[in-house]
Amino acid sequence: MNATPAPADDLIVIGKIVSVHGVRGEVKVFSFTDPIDNLLDYHRWTLRRDGEVRQVELASGRLQNKVLVAKLKGLDDREEARLLAGFEICVLRSLLPDLTDGEYYWYQLKGLKVIDQAGQLLGRIDHLLETGANDVMVVKPCADSLDDRERLLPYTAHCVLTVDLAAGEMRVDWDADF
């Protein structure tokens, strides 16, 4: 394991180490990728937790039931692996695949101003939730927003009208009273 970090702005969180697996230093991983085993396509990870940053290399990995199990190079001890629980798994932004027009990564949507059809600022996207049926945007109030309410908006074609990353805003079909 190496301690040379990549610049923080260039890193995207794609998963998290949650616990150990077995006695040979493997770790269980919660993946934020879709499908979840896409995380295993990235062989160099930057691990982050509470200001600590480490560089690791994936030796192997597998999908076991609904959990990812990963083996990191040079990590053969269960107790050493246990110390990695809670670390975020990050990769360089430049390694992410290009998306087609109209597709966005979650990190691109965070912080966008959300404006309804009446031109009212509902707030900013704080984070997104995966619910199974569709993703949900958590919109929190910000300076100049209509009110101080937090809103949960579905990330669907019916609700999201336009996304303008350059302008930092998203237009939505959403009733401000809802």
Catalogue the E-assigned strands of 26-106: 26-31, 44-49, 52-64, 67-72, 88-92
Is the distance from CB of 25 to CB of 78 less than 8 angstroms? Answer: yes
Is the distance from CB of 35 to CB of 28 less than 8 angstroms? Answer: no
Distance between CA atoms of 139 and 122, rounded to whole angstroms? 7
Is the whole model's pTM more than 0.85, yes or no? Answer: no
- For residue range 3-35, what is the model confidence (pLDDT) as tens digits? 444 555 689 999 999 999 999 999 999 998 888
- Enter the tokens of residue 20: 């150990």
- Enter the tokens of residue 46: 């930057």
Q: Which of 116, 118, 117, 137 is closest to 126 using CA atoms?
A: 137
Distance between CA atoms of 117 and 132, rounded to whole angstroms? 27
Look at residue 58 in the predicted model and tell me its pLDDT. 97
Structural domains of the chain, with CATH: 8-94 (2.40.30.60), 107-172 (2.30.30.240)
- For residue range 127-142, what is the model confidence (pLDDT) as tens digits? 998 887 889 999 999 9
